[in-house]
Each structure stands twice: as C-alpha cells, then as structure tokens.
Chains A and B, each alone.
Chain A
Amino acid sequence: MQRHERLFQPVDEGPAPTRPPCRTPARARRRAFTLLELVVSLVIMASGLLAIQALLVRQSKQVCRLERWCQPHPTYYVVSQSDKWMRALGAPASFETQAGHTAWTSPVGPPFDYNVTLDSSARSDNGQQVSARVSLQLKE
C-alpha cells in the first residue's frame, strides 16, 4: 500500500532531479576485450613466437654446422711442419683425421740448390690444363 501511495504522490514541480551520469556505449565497450582485439593480439603473439622459433631453428642449424668437426669425440693426428721456413714463420700444425700423413716439405729452396729439368709436358684437349714432369737434381 505504501508503494502505491508513493507512486501516486503528486509530482514536484521544482527543478528536475539530477540524472545519474549515463555511460556512453563507447565507454561501456572498454570494460572488456572485443573479439577483434583478442584476435589481433593472438596474431601478434603467434607471429612473435614463430619468429623466435625460426631464429632457434636457424641457430640450431648453424651450431650443427659449427660442431660437425668435433662430433662425436673426434681423433686428430697432428702433423707438425717439417719445412725450415714454415717452422720459422710459425705455421700451425695440420690436423688430419687419418694416420699416416707426412708433413709437407718444400722440394726446392734453401738451404739446398737443385737443377731443374723438364722431362715432358702435355696439354689437355681444351687447353685449360697443363701437366709436366720435372726432375730435381741436388747440386753438389
């Protein structure tokens, strides 16, 4: 009954009651993500992860190429320089994967002098290769 009495109370002619601030639709929309925003963020995140994955794959390939020479537990046969001048220059030793290699030795040069004789020579058909047979004789 009291409710009805309130409903039928005479309307006050005074100033209109202040209306609560009305939320605009745009402001109300900011309270949550839209599906479009979610999709865009997922696409950005997925492309970032794909970029990281691509970098990891590329780096992994490069590391595989880098460590190809040291896998698995390799054995090297160290061949020191035997030439006088190579040793004087401090040239590094060569690492061979099979035993039996001998060091490279200069056939000519100090401290010995040689007589060089051209025994034969041949030119290939296309003229791009020339092979020669040379004899070296140590000078007395």
Chain B
Amino acid sequence: MRKTTGQRPAGFTLLELLVVSVLMIGLTMMTAQMWRHFSAGAADIAGRTVAAQELRLALESLSDDLGSVVWATPTMTDGLRICRKDPGGQADVIVEYSLSSRRLVRNNLSVGVGVPIADNVSGFVASDVTSSVLRITVCVTAKNVTREATLFWSRT
C-alpha cells in the first residue's frame, strides 16, 4: 500500500487492485471447484446410504411377513396381499403392501392400520410368474441413486 504523505488519504494503486482481483478470482474458482467436488461426493454418499437403508427396511418387513406366510397373492394395483400367522395370536392376519406417494405402506387389514415402511420407493410390483411362483420387485430412488431388488417366492 502506498504511504501517505501529509493529508492525502491512503489508497490502493490500480496495479494493486488488479493483482488482488486476479488473486481473488483465482482463489474463488479454486474454492468453488473444491466445494463442488466435496458436495458432489457427499450428495452421492447420502443418496446411496438412503437408498440402501430404505431398500433394506422394505426387504426386512417383507421377510418378516413372508416367514410365516399362509398365502400371498398380488393385488389389482400391483400391490401384495399376504395372509400370515400372527405370532402369539390364534387367528391369521392379512396384510397388504402398496405404494402410496413414493412410500411403501403396510396395511394390516385385520386391524385397519397402515404403517409406512420405506420412503423414496419409486416402484413396487408384485406379479405372478407362474401359478406357483410370485415375483416382488422393490425399487428405491434417492438423490439420483437407484437401487432395486427382486424377490422370488414359491408357494410350494
């Protein structure tokens, strides 16, 4: 910075301003590039984590219901209806899985209570492959990350 003489106020020369501007622009571009790199990596990790977590929640709930299944059949809306043994109870329980607003909802039709099982579910399709084999496809999409799992269950 230029030294002041007398009453003249201090200030920057044009050359100093140019050098500082160039340095600031370079530093800002470097920082933006690093931030973009970090934020892209963090967003990708967050999406993969959410997708794996939600898919696991959906599969674990299906596993719980299919463990003591009596019968299972697809519904008209690509959902899945399961009749299962009620642990600790005498009567069987009928539950229905359906997709509602990107949520996989488990409706206990015997009690009339619906509970969301997993979020960010982009697809849930249950269909009969043969008369004895049922196919269930669960697809989860979170932050541009998609994970899909296919289950086969045999009635025999």
Query: Cβ of B52 and Cβ of A67 under 8 Å apart?
Result: yes
- Min CB distance A84 to B, Å, is 10
Query: Which residues of B have CB within 8 Å of A86?
Result: 67-68
**Is there a chain A Cβ closer than 8 Å to B83's Cβ?**
no
Query: Which residues of A have CB within 8 Å of B34?
Result: 49
CB < 8 Å neighbour of A52 from B38, B55, B62:
B38
**Is there a chain B Cβ closer than 8 Å to A75's Cβ?**
yes
**Is there a chain B Cβ closer than 8 Å to A31's Cβ?**
yes
Query: Cβ of B67 and Cβ of A91 under 8 Å apart?
Result: yes
**Is there a chain A Cβ closer than 8 Å to B78's Cβ?**
no
Query: Which residues of A have CB within 8 Å of B49?
Result: 63, 66
The number of chain B residues with a CB under 8 A from chain A is: 33
Interface of B is mostly: helix
Query: Cβ of B67 and Cβ of A87 under 8 Å apart?
Result: yes
Interface of A is mostly: mixed
- Residues of B at the A interface (CB closer than 8 Å) are 1, 34, 38, 41-42, 45, 48-49, 51-52, 55-56, 59-60, 62-64, 66-69, 85-88, 147-154
Across the A-B interface, give the 3 residue pairs with the lowest CB-CB distance, nearest first.
A90-B87, A87-B68, A67-B52
- Residues of A at the B interface (CB closer than 8 Å) are 31-32, 49, 52-53, 56, 59-60, 63, 66-67, 70-71, 73-78, 80-81, 86-95, 99
30 A-B pairs, CB-CB below 8 angstroms?
A: A31-B1, A32-B1, A49-B34, A52-B38, A53-B38, A56-B38, A56-B45, A59-B45, A67-B48, A67-B52, A70-B55, A73-B148, A73-B150, A74-B149, A75-B150, A76-B152, A77-B151, A78-B63, A78-B66, A80-B68, A81-B67, A86-B67, A87-B68, A88-B85, A90-B87, A90-B88, A92-B63, A92-B67, A93-B63, A99-B152
